[in-house]
Amino acid sequence: MNKLVIIAAAVTMSMVSYHVVAETTASIATVYNINHAKIAPVIDGIAQDNEWKSAQALTDFTFPWRDTPAPATEFKAVWHADSLYFQYTVTDANVAIGTNPERAILDSDRVEIFLAKDAQLSRYYTMEIDPKARVFSAEASYDMVNKKRASLDSNWTWKGLETKASLTDSGYVVEGKLPLQTLTDLSLWQNKQQTQLLCALMRAEFTQQADGKLDMGWMTWIDPKTPKPNFHNPQTFGQCQLVK
């Protein structure tokens, strides 16, 4: 092969690699600490357990694609023994709950957690939970070259996931429990100590309109800087760190 062709190809690959690294490391500096709980929380969707007091409260959720204040959202997570526990407490004056059997969860207000195998999202897993504790989950992959989701298998489910939810006077609460072994089986740990995860934390904020249509608002803990609403990209991910 001509040397000039080889050099050109090498330069091109180098530039692609640089942009991939730049894109995937930009938001990973955002860290949420998952503290250890001496006693495991009860997953009941009520959000009154004292065990949640040891959790870091994350409230930095915004509307990246709207110039309006976002309603309050609080995320908490702890780990105990062999499981990860999480809780969303949501303020919502108009809770939308879908009823269409084919897409009920996707027509509902919901909270979301994505976990990725690597920073390039060669494989990542979604978890979307509505106010009735119904779960939409999927196994997906991302195309770094074309900057779009490459695949999504909605028949995939989380092994061992437990969820509970309840409506409140101000919105709703979602709680969940996931075995740490499931994270291991999916190769989601980012270090040998099994304390680091690539995570994305989001919320779908829907409002039923008078004409029957849904006003769809999208909230996230990290602004991915995309022109349109899109949770499925590397910039939405940060780091979740188990600490003791």
Name the residue with higher pLDDT: 6 or 166: 166
* Structure tokens that stand for 88 in this block: 């969303």
Question: For residues 75 and 227, what is the distance between their CA atoms, to the nearest angstrom?
Answer: 26
For residues 85 and 41, is the Cβ–Cβ distance under 8 A? yes
What is the model's pTM?
A: 0.89
For residues 92 and 71, is the Cβ–Cβ distance under 8 A? yes
Q: What is the pLDDT of residue 231?
A: 97
Q: What is the pLDDT of residue 2?
A: 52
Average pLDDT over residues 93-115: 94
For residues 237 and 198, is the Cβ–Cβ distance under 8 A? yes
Q: What is the pLDDT of residue 22?
A: 44
* Structure tokens that stand for 178 in this block: 């996931």
Tens of pLDDT along 15-27? 444 344 445 444 5
List the single range of 20-24, 90-94, 131-135 with lowest mean pLDDT. 20-24
- Maximum pairwise Cα distance, the chain: 71
Q: Which of 213, 212, 240, 227 is nearest to 114 (CA)?
A: 240
pLDDT band at residue 151 under the 50/70/90 scheme: very high
**How do 73-80 and 31-36 pair as beta strands?**
parallel
Q: What is the pLDDT of residue 27?
A: 56
Tens of pLDDT along 26-53? 456 799 999 999 999 999 999 888 989 9
Cα distances (Å, whole numbers) of residue 15 to 23, 142, 229: 12, 19, 27
**Average pLDDT value for the chain:** 90
Average pLDDT over residues 82-103: 95
Burial, 209: exposed, middle or buried (Cβ in 10 Å; 0-12, 13-18, 19+)? exposed
pLDDT band at residue 8 under the 50/70/90 scheme: very low
Residue 141 predicted with pLDDT over 70 = yes
CATH number (1.10.150.20, 2.60.40.1190, 2.30.40.10, 3.90.1150.10) of 3-243 reads: 2.60.40.1190
Conformational region of residue 49, where left means phi above 0, alpha means psi within -120 to 50, and beta covers everything else: beta
Q: For the chain, which residues make up each domain, given as ranges?
A: 3-243
Phi, psi of 75 (to 5 degrees): -115, 135
Q: What is the pLDDT of residue 42?
A: 96
Average pLDDT over residues 221-240: 97
Average pLDDT over residues 132-139: 98
Tens of pLDDT along 155-168? 999 999 999 999 99
Q: What is the pLDDT of residue 176?
A: 98
